């Protein structure tokens, strides 16, 4: 059933649309960061799947597309009819479960042009399989009474290598390799925009490429786990949990050491594997690693 107009009025009342335009208008001079999802694979009603937006005026660049991404865009008063581009750090399910949502919901909400998607090798096949899985939905929405924009469901895929991957109207995005366990390709991104440099770690254990990319950044958004609470889990294969975390992720103390060397002006913690740790415990461990700058624990829909 085609109810786009009614749906938009329910989601975005006119006053809210007006407010959104003012907030994201051309007068904004430096990019802001919106944490759309700070969660992990463990289902958490208070943390959506990993996703982060860099917003400059009316422009929105999205990094990763975890579960619930379109609803989080709506909750943040960001466009639900398509972002400017999506940058995928790696192909773990928790970072990509929102891809069907992003591709298809944005189309149903008005997107008519292909969505630019950048990511590691394999993302082209992933998107192709997603669109094939929903081919009957696409046909009915295109040819039936909904009359959605023909081809608006498409994506323009670029499988990237380290180096500059995107540059448009004053925003430059550079990819750098990170070490995420046994993944052959995983990336972090550095965004250079008027007035601000932002580094997104993706999922990674400590590595020289991340420290180099983050050096002198205005903001470093980095994943983290609690070293003090790391222990084998009581489940099949749970005895390998500490080894897994050390090979795939960065502990709070290790992150403090990285940030002490890179010296970002602001360190934002996200995608936190707590295992029972409190915000205070994690922040104290980062401090014990040697970082003395400003650091915050990120939560869904926080803006920086």
Domains by residue range for the chain, with CATH: 4-297 (3.60.15.10)
**Is the pLDDT at 11 greater than 80, yes or no?**
no
Q: Report the alpha-carbon distance of residue 146 to residue 78 in Å, rounded.
A: 24
pLDDT grade for 2, boundaries at 50, 70 and 90 = very low
Helices 123-133 & 135-143 angle (0-180, nearest 10): 60
As annotated, the active-site residues are 94
pLDDT of res. 246: 97
pLDDT tens digits along 126-139: 999 999 999 999 99
Task: State pTM to two decimals.
Answer: 0.90
Across residues 247-261, what is the average pLDDT? 98
Contact 99, 115 (CB under 8 A): no
Across residues 4-17, what is the average pLDDT? 36
Alpha helices in the chain (DSSP H): 4-11, 14-23, 69-75, 93-96, 99-100, 106-108, 123-133, 135-143, 208-214, 241-248, 252-262, 279-288
For 7, residues 6+ apart whose C-beta sits below 8 A from its C-beta are 109
Percent of the chain whose predicted confidence (pLDDT) is above 90: 89
pLDDT of res. 28: 58
Reported as type and span, the H/E element at residue 272 is strand 266-273
For 113, residues 6+ apart whose C-beta sits below 8 A from its C-beta are 82, 152
Question: CB-based burial of residue 30 (10 Å sphere; 0-12 exposed, 13-18 middle, 19+ buried)?
Answer: exposed
Helices 279-288 & 252-262 angle (0-180, nearest 10): 50
- Report helix, strand or coil for 197: strand
- Region of poorest pLDDT, from 7-16, 113-122, 283-292: 7-16
Picking from 285, 237, 225, the residue whose alpha carbon sits closest to that of residue 40 is 225
pLDDT tens digits along 188-229: 999 999 999 999 999 999 999 999 999 999 999 999 999 999
Contact 65, 76 (CB under 8 A): no
Tell me the backbone φ, ψ of residue 189, rounded to 5 degrees: -135, 140
């Amino acid at each position: 059933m085609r109810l786009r107009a009614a749906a938009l009025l329910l989601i975005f009342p006119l006053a809210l649309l007006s407010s959104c335009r003012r907030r994201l208008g051309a007068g904004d001079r430096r990019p802001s960061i919106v944490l759309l999802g700070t969660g992990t694979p463990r289902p958490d009603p208070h943390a959506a799947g990993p996703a982060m937006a860099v917003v400059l005026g009316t422009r929105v660049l999205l990094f990763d597309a975890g579960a619930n991404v379109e609803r989080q865009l709506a909750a943040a008063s960001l466009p639900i009819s398509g972002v400017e581009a999506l940058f995928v750090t790696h192909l773990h399910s928790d970072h990509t479960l929102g891809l069907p949502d992003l591709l298809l919901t944005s189309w149903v909400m008005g997107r008519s042009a292909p969505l630019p998607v950048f990511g590691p090798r394999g993302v082209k096949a992933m998107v192709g399989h997603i669109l094939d899985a929903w081919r009957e939905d696409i046909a009915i929405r295109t040819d039936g009474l909904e009359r959605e924009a023909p081809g608006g469901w498409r994506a323009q895929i670029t499988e990237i290598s380290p180096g500059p991957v995107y540059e448009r109207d004053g925003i430059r995005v550079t990819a750098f390799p990170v070490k995420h366990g046994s993944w052959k390709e995983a990336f972090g991104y550095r965004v250079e925009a008027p007035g601000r440099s932002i580094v997104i770690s993706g999922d990674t254990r400590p590595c020289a490429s991340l420290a180099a990319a983050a050096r002198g950044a205005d903001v470093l958004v980095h994943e983290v786990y609690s070293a003090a609470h790391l222990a084998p889990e009581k489940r099949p294969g749970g005895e390998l949990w500490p080894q897994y975390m050390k090979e795939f992720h960065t502990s709070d103390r290790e992150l403090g050491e990285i940030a002490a060397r890179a010296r970002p002006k602001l360190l934002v913690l996200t995608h936190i594997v707590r295992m029972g740790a409190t915000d205070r415990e994690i922040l104290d461990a980062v401090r014990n690693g040697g970082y003395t700058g400003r650091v915050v624990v990120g939560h869904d829909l926080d803006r920086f």
